[in-house]
Homo-oligomer: A and B are copies of this chain.
């Protein structure tokens, strides 16, 4: 039976990307200690993780450097201070948002950088700008991916056009991004098939970045794997905006490639994630995120609700329904 075969064996093409700093930084304004980042780097290398994302290449013209930790900006020196020349098998990525990155200036030639991959995040209506960023990064020598956000609200016909545009571009990988955590597994399988068709046609890898609003981030990730998706985002203990992401500890527990090792991840969580949670940094599945996810809405209202320590869920749900 094909399904058993796929769960017993592994595809060497699968690559795991740790997005703890980048998506987790949205929870704490990138205010991580250097020890946290250093230990995360070591844990990822030991765990066999394929890529570690250090944060955003955000524009210092737009964002105040005094209001965010350094991983919002990912200066070359900041990364080198942690990884040196990165003499490991793990590659390094950063994310660049359309409209929030001075990419022509801030992204230097890959020969001069310790970064290996630029991931361009875009909404579907800014695809030409995203492709310009991708071509710029590609011409500088980087691996590139495009992460199309908020697709659960996009029209299918627009999606088809966007995927064709990306297919014809130089991008190496295209990510399915469930920004609102609203996608159910059977929908994820259909989406994966749609993206994989483009991937096959244009020789692109397909990736997935899931959110956990309905406790489906891990399920959606492994369902996408079952269809042929190879680039998998995860974060330590789900750390990420709102309900967080697919947990690294769940994902590495599932993947059968013997290169992956769960122990360094468990040690990292014990040493760094538990204290972070105890210090009051809040993320993860909770009722308000379920409600925005279920309604296919941005989690910002749920983040505010949680920050205000409210628990009037029924009132909140009514309010969400009325603004739809």
Which A residues fall within an 8 A CB radius of B?
A: 1, 3-4, 6-7, 184-187, 189-190, 212, 214-220, 222-223, 226, 237, 247, 249-250, 253-254, 262-263, 266-267, 269-270, 274, 285, 287, 290-291, 294, 311-314, 317-318
* Chain B residues whose CB sits within 8 angstroms of the CB of A7 once the complex forms: 184, 186-187
Given A186-B226, A274-B311, A314-B267, are A250 and B218 also a contact pair (CB < 8 Å)? no
Q: Quick check: B184 and A254 within 8 Å, CB to CB?
A: yes
Q: Quick check: A190 and B4 within 8 Å, CB to CB?
A: yes
Specify which of B237, B247, B317 is in contact with A266 (CB 8 Å cutoff): B317
Specify which of B1, B215, B254, B267 is in contact with A218 (CB 8 Å cutoff): B215
The answer for the CA separation of A323 and B313 in the assembled complex, in Å, is 44
Quick one: closest B residue to A1, CB to CB?
Answer: B190
* Chain B residues whose CB sits within 8 angstroms of the CB of A312 once the complex forms: 270
Q: Quick check: B317 and A186 within 8 Å, CB to CB?
A: no
Quick one: closest B residue to A216, CB to CB?
Answer: B219
Q: Min CB distance, A255 to chain B, in Å?
A: 11
What are some 21 contacts across the A-B interface (CB < 8 A)? Answer: A3-B187, A3-B189, A7-B187, A184-B222, A185-B185, A186-B223, A214-B218, A214-B253, A215-B219, A215-B247, A215-B250, A237-B287, A249-B287, A249-B290, A253-B291, A263-B317, A266-B314, A267-B313, A269-B287, A270-B311, A270-B313
Q: Min CB distance, A131 to chain B, in Å?
A: 30
Listed from nearest, the 8 A-B pairs whose CB atoms lie closest are A219-B219, A266-B313, A253-B294, A266-B314, A3-B186, A267-B314, A215-B218, A263-B314
* Chain B residues whose CB sits within 8 angstroms of the CB of A313 once the complex forms: 266-267, 269-270
Q: Quick check: A186 and B6 within 8 Å, CB to CB?
A: yes
* Chain B residues whose CB sits within 8 angstroms of the CB of A6 once the complex forms: 186
The answer for the CA separation of A4 and B222 in the assembled complex, in Å, is 20
* Seed contacts A1-B190, A7-B184, A215-B219; 15 additional CB < 8 Å A-B pairs: A3-B190, A7-B186, A186-B226, A214-B218, A215-B215, A219-B219, A237-B287, A249-B290, A253-B290, A263-B314, A267-B314, A269-B313, A270-B312, A270-B314, A285-B285
* Chain B residues whose CB sits within 8 angstroms of the CB of A317 once the complex forms: 262-263, 266
Q: Min CB distance, A44 to chain B, in Å?
A: 15
Q: Min CB distance, A316 to chain B, in Å?
A: 8
The answer for the CA separation of A81 and B262 in the assembled complex, in Å, is 50
The answer for the CA separation of A171 and B4 in the assembled complex, in Å, is 30
* Chain B residues whose CB sits within 8 angstroms of the CB of A249 once the complex forms: 287, 290
Q: Min CB distance, A102 to chain B, in Å?
A: 39
Quick one: closest B residue to A226, CB to CB?
Answer: B186
The answer for the CA separation of A270 and B309 in the assembled complex, in Å, is 12
* Chain B residues whose CB sits within 8 angstroms of the CB of A223 once the complex forms: 185-186
* Chain B residues whose CB sits within 8 angstroms of the CB of A318 once the complex forms: 263
The answer for the CA separation of A217 and B216 in the assembled complex, in Å, is 10
